[in-house]
């Protein structure tokens, strides 16, 4: 018996590059269950979704890529220093504006 899963495709313009990726939304299941899942996702307004035939190599690759995208980026000391500088500049700008008014 073949298995299927529901997947979502995203295409974005990043600067001058087109970036696209696919995210699996369900685990592999029967075709009827996958079609029902597709219908439900469309009913709540999710677009660019489709049913894919399960191939373990492709599915596992998509899951690994999804996990990498979703992983949080840890802050470094340099990032924190940059953010504090920006906050100080914004504070100075708001003080300058309130003095003028």
Ordered by start, the domain boundaries in the chain are: 4-73
Check residue 59 and give left, alpha or beta (phi > 0: left; psi -120 to 50: alpha): alpha
Q: According to the model, what pLDDT value does residue 8 have? A: 96
For 79, phi then psi, to 5°, come to: -65, -40
pLDDT digits (tens, 9 = 90+) for 38-86: 999 999 999 999 999 999 999 999 999 999 888 877 778 888 888 898 8
Task: Report if pTM > 0.85.
Answer: no
Contact 18, 34 (CB under 8 A): no
Quick one: pLDDT band at residue 34, thresholds 50, 70, 90? very high
């Amino acid at each position: 018996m073949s298995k299927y899963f529901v997947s979502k495709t995203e295409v974005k313009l990043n600067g001058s590059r087109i970036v696209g990726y696919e995210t699996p939304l369900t685990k592999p299941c029967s075709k009827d269950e996958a079609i029902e899942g597709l219908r439900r996702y469309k009913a709540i307004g999710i677009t660019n979704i489709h049913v894919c035939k399960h191939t373990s190599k492709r599915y596992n690759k998509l899951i690994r890529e999804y996990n990498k995208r979703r992983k949080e980026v840890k802050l470094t000391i340099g990032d924190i220093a940059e953010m504090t500088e920006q906050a100080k500049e914004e504070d100075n700008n708001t003080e300058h504006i309130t003095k003028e008014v």
